Amino acid sequence: MKITVWNEFVHEKTDERVRAIYPDGMHACIAKFLTEAGYDVKTATLEMPEHGLTDEVLAETDVLFWWGHMRHEKVDDAIVQKVYDRVMQGMGLVVLHSGHASKIFRKLMGTNSDCLKWRESNDTEIMWVTSPNHPIVEGLGDHIVIPHEETYGEHFIIPEPDELVFISWFTGGEVFRSGCCFKRGNGRIFYFKPGHESFPIYHHPDVQKVLINAAKWACPVNRETFRYGHFPVRPVDELNIQ
Ligand code: ZN
């Protein structure tokens, strides 16, 4: 499986506290544990030509991870369209944390960027598993505790998820649908809420386990490039009709 981890990579360069947690960027941290899990992982960032998402990179990517926050609007619409087209063909997409407001997530969901409540108050987040037989929670217990995390609260304006894997509760009282599966075209999309830049969320072993599982779940089983549109009649013997 080939994974590309995309990060806008701004906080880590502009905020000392974030750099202390992710000295090489969040994408490097995520790529490291995915690589250790046996996947073939590349990284890409906003500042690279074509944001690191060239036709070649996208064509080879089975699952794309996406972390963005400050620079959603700097992402080129043409690249967003290419990512969208790849999802339609079958590429998996894992959208992390503030990626709910990214152009690609909004385009796939039909939502806008102002679609949830948030607060940075170091609440504890408890993620309750709502689908204990789902491949994304394989190897986990019935909940994950994240000692300090940004609070996100309902309501969260998204289409009804095809499958809900986690609901989070925060010590401030809010709840949030924090692990949501969607299918768009031939592609599988997982939205995963944790990942605020000021906390070491992607160092958390259970968070890593979820993302390793999510990559496996989102990976297409059929990598052919599907053709649509007009099809000529095929000779009956090609269809193996008995
Ligand atoms: Zn955040």
235 by Cβ neighbours in 10 Å (0-12 / 13-18 / 19+) ranks as: exposed
Written in H, E and C, the secondary structure of the chain is: CEEEEEECCCHHHHCHHHHHHCCCCHHHHHHHHHHHCCCEEEEEECCCHHHHCCHHHHHHCCEEEEECCCCHHHCCHHHHHHHHHHHHHCCEEEEEHHHHHCHHHHHHHCCCCCCCEEEEEEEEEEEEECCCCCHHHCCCCCEEEEEEEEEEECCCCCCCCCEEEEEEEECCCCEEEEEEEEEECCEEEEEECCCCCCCCHHHCHHHHHHHHHHHHHHCCCCCCCCCCCCCCCCCHHHHCCC
Q: 82 C-alpha vs ligand 1 centroid, how far in Å? A: 26
Q: Which of 13, 4, 3 is closest to 197 using CA atoms?
A: 13
Q: 28 C-alpha vs ligand 1 centroid, how far in Å? A: 18
How confident is the model at residue 98, as a pLDDT?
A: 98
Q: 6 C-alpha vs ligand 1 centroid, how far in Å? A: 16
Rg (CA), the chain: 19
Q: 156 C-alpha vs ligand 1 centroid, how far in Å? A: 15
How confident is the model at residue 239, as a pLDDT?
A: 86
Q: Which two tokens stand for residue 2?
A: 């080939």
What is the pTM for the complete model shown?
0.97
Q: 72 C-alpha vs ligand 1 centroid, how far in Å? A: 13
Ordered alpha helix ranges (H), 90-192: 103-109
How confident is the model at residue 175, as a pLDDT?
A: 98
How confident is the model at residue 235, as a pLDDT?
A: 86
Q: 23 C-alpha vs ligand 1 centroid, how far in Å? A: 18
Strand 163-170 relative to strand 117-129, pairing: antiparallel
How confident is the model at residue 225, as a pLDDT?
A: 87
Residue 194, CA distances (Å) to 47, 67, 127, 239 in order: 24, 11, 9, 48
**Which residues does the chain have with pLDDT short of 70?**
none
How confident is the model at residue 240, as a pLDDT?
A: 83
How confident is the model at residue 241, as a pLDDT?
A: 81
Cβ neighbours, 10 Å, residue 200 = 15
